[in-house]
Amino acid sequence: MGKVFFTNGNIMDVKAEKIFKGSILTEDGVIKEVGADLTAPADAEVVDFGGGFVSPGLFNCHTHILMSGQANPSKDMGEVETIVDALGNCKKHIETGVTFIRDVGGSKYYDIQIRDMQRKGKILAPEMQVSGRNICMTGGHGWSSGREADGADDARKAAREQLRAGADWIKLMATGGVMTNGVEPGSPQLTEEEMRAAIEEAHKVGARTCTHAQGNTGIKNALRAGIDSIEHGFYLDQWCYDWMKEHNVYFVPTLSAMYWIKVNGVEAGIPEWAVKKVNGAFDAHKKSFYEAYKAGVKICLGTDAGTPFNFHDRTAYEMVLMVEDGMEPWDAIKSGTVNAAELCQVEKTHGSIEPGKVASFTVYGADPIADINAVCDCRMTVIKGKVAFCK
């Protein structure tokens, strides 16, 4: 790959919360130098950032790459159509500045195969970590594509099956959810004992665990069981915030998932039962997000991309929603960079623009700190030192 000299950029130092005009020298996909007065080596390819605002590559920590935002995702699609759409979804992420995704539940282990193809360089896609099939109780949220498990021993076996298949994460369903008919977001599902067994198996081999957890009882079951991240978290309370801070548990609120269902509604073809559940929990979700943020819980960007009208080119809008709900712009940027890299345990190589880090960048046309809406205008995406998208 050789040397690439990226110049004429407004470099966003997300750790120091400052922006400076400068350049970045990379070699073989790794950042070698960052500074205001760098000179391009004679043997380097030169890429002009065009005066854009250069952020570390954006993460989306909650995607469903096999789902494409249909009004009713429960409708079956053919296998070929599913895979073709998934590859298109990967491209959409790249074209909107996303360089790393964490996919949290697919079917038939297609997500694992797509990740492996990306790592081999056979497809254009963000770097990714994947979960295989989510683990749920019989008839619970996500049962149609998940691995149903009942009892601690079966949950342990289910986790082992996902790890054998190559999953980086184990996804557990602690509560009901919006997009499964007949279950309620607040109802607990997998028990604390069932989740603890699965979490133990993941942690034995260095894998991480996350949970779909919307209701308070299920959230607390997952926390006590040793979960690494809470997804959605509609009904958090002070006990949860304290526990999450003490045990370094991350929160991925996925504000987008609720937002796009609410603004589109039944008129757009979303099932009435799903819209009703969103309307019932919408305000509580926003409140939990704001209170968790103010309490100092580590928050990471994830959208639940693939749920109704929650398309894979809308990752950045999650930051807009975060700021609208009370988060400072720098903290919104951090949620999709340094915080997300920590969650995925790649903080030594990703998440900030520093020598030694992977050369993955997202370039915005304007300053997102002055106006967070600028994150919706990605002008260039660089992955491992190569321009993957340029507008």
Q: What is the pTM of this model?
A: 0.97
Cβ(226)–Cβ(209) under 8 Å? yes
Confidence check: pLDDT of 73 > 80: no
CATH 3.20.20.140 intervals, the chain: 58-315
Confidence check: pLDDT of 74 > 70: no
Which CATH number describes the domain made up of 58-315? Answer: 3.20.20.140
Q: Which CATH class is domain 3-56+350-390?
A: mainly beta
CATH 2.30.40.10 intervals, the chain: 3-56+350-390
| Pairwise CA distance, residues 221 & 213, whole Å | 9
Q: How far apart are the first and last CA of the chain?
A: 22
Residue 363's pLDDT is 98
Percent of the chain with pLDDT over 90: 94
Beta bridge partners of 342: none
- Span 244-249, average pLDDT: 98
Q: pLDDT per residue over 279-326, tens digit each?
A: 999 999 999 999 999 999 999 999 999 999 999 999 999 999 999 999
Q: Is 5 helix (H, G, I), strand (E, B) or coil?
A: strand
